[in-house]
């Protein structure tokens, strides 16, 4: 399957919240849909699910207009939506019926996912009596209940401890390996890096960055070096910051004792290295800059 979102625009009253969102995702791959709070991610997902209607734009699946009612979709919203005073098994069966699952397979599916997620013992308990983490696992069971073709996960690891996070990681990998189409939204960048080949970064209703994550990292790291000096050496006392060499000096966002240097061009690298050795500085680290997704996120949408 090949899902293409083109130029989605959405206005609430006089406020335009989406200004032309475009991205695509294919089966067997996961797309990381990223952005700060209020960027437009949830609105985009709700349009995709046909919960909101866009003012402009199109969504196509395999080059045909996409109608989510014609497909089994596993959707985990960030804001949970199960019934706290209902028994776990009863609401899973109810939700399965709403999705058109055959009754002969429905209970079997429900029990399978409860067991897979380690909450079978709570099947006859009211949801409100469960811990936050176990409620999240029941919500996940409802997401995968229909063996979906398309999986949309919004902050799926919320409330899960490391053991249960590992179980969910295995399930997500299986969905990708089984050629499902996966859209994954999270503020936990390490999970996005683990699963997603492609990303779409939204800021204030605009896509500011999209494409293959490895290629994006290479582009962000181009002509950049990471430098860490010992306590007895400082860049300010050297001539390394001569504008003949360096375009930009920035402190590493996650490792404050390091600086990132952006060279004027690739051919300045060897000259810069020679100048560095001639300065007799206490160099603890000197390497090519390999940005994390968190670094890219902060540089792209941070203030």
Q: Which pLDDT does position 158 carry in this prediction? A: 84
Q: Which domain holds residue 70?
A: 2-216
The C-alpha torsion from 210 through 215 and 216 to 217, rounded to 10°, is 150
Question: Which residue among 196, 216, 236 closes a domain?
Answer: 216
Q: Which pLDDT does position 115 carry in this prediction? A: 95
Q: Which pLDDT does position 237 carry in this prediction? A: 46
In a domain, 300, yes or no: no
C-alpha to C-alpha distance for 272 and 242, rounded to whole angstroms: 10
- Residue 61 shares a structural domain with residue 151: yes
In a domain, 301, yes or no: no
**Number of Cα atoms under 13 Å in the Cβ half of residue 147:** 8
Residue in 180, 178, 196 with CA at minimum distance from that of residue 26? 180
How confident is the model over 6-27, as pLDDT tens digits? Answer: 999 999 999 999 999 999 999 9
First to last CA, the chain: 37
Phi, psi of 295 (to 5 degrees): -60, -45
Our CA angle for 83, 67, 151, nearest 5°, is 55
- Residue 261 shares a structural domain with residue 237: yes
Helices of type H across the chain:
41-48, 88-98, 103-116, 132-144, 162-177, 189-195, 213-221, 269-278, 293-301
- Residue 195 shares a structural domain with residue 251: no
Provide the angle, in degrees to the nearest 10, between the axes of the packed helices 88-98 and 103-116. Answer: 130
CATH number at residue 269: 3.30.70
- Averages of pLDDT over runs of 10 residues in the chain (303 residues) are 94 93 93 90 91 93 92 87 92 90 87 94 94 91 92 88 91 93 89 91 92 91 77 55 57 58 71 68 74 86 72
- Name the region of 63 (left: φ>0; alpha: ψ -120 to 50; beta: rest): left
Instruction: Give the number of residues written for the chain.
Output: 303
**Structural domain count of the chain:** 2
How confident is the model over 269-297, as pLDDT tens digits? Answer: 677 777 666 666 666 777 788 888 988 88
Question: Which residue among 200, 216, 232 closes a domain?
Answer: 216
Give the chain's mean pLDDT: 85
- Residue 205 shares a structural domain with residue 237: no
């Amino acid at each position: 399957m090949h899902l293409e979102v083109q130029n989605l625009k959405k206005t609430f009253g006089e406020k335009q919240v989406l200004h032309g969102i475009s991205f695509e995702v294919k089966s067997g791959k996961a797309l990381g849909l990223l952005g700060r709070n209020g960027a437009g991610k949830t609105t985009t997902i709700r349009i995709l699910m046909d919960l909101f209607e866009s003012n402009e734009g199109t969504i196509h699946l395999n080059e045909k207009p996409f109608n989510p009612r014609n497909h089994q979709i596993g959707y985990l919203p960030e804001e949970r939506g199960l019934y706290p005073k209902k028994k776990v098994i009863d609401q899973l069966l109810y939700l399965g019926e709403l999705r058109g699952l055959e009754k002969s397979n429905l209970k079997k599916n429900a029990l399978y996912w409860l067991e897979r997620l380690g909450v079978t013992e709570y099947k006859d308990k009211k949801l409100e009596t469960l811990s936050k983490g176990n409620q999240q696992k029941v919500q996940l069971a409802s997401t995968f209940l229909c063996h979906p073709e398309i999986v949309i996960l919004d902050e799926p690891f919320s409330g899960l401890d490391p053991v249960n996070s590992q179980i969910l990681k295995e399930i997500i990998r299986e969905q990708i390996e089984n050629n499902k189409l996966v859209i994954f939204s999270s503020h936990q960048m390490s999970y996005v890096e683990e699963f997603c080949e492609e990303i779409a970064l939204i800021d204030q209703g605009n896509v500011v960055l999209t494409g293959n994550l490895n290629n994006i990292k290479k582009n962000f790291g181009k002509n950049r070096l990471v430098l860490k000096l010992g306590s007895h050496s400082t860049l300010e006392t050297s001539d390394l910051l001569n504008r003949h060499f360096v375009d930009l000096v920035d402190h590493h966002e996650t490792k404050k004792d390091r600086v990132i240097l952006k060279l004027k061009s690739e051919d300045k690298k060897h000259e810069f290295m020679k100048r560095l050795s001639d300065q007799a500085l206490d160099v603890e680290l000197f390497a090519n800059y390999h940005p994390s997704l968190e670094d890219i996120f902060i540089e792209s949408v941070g203030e």
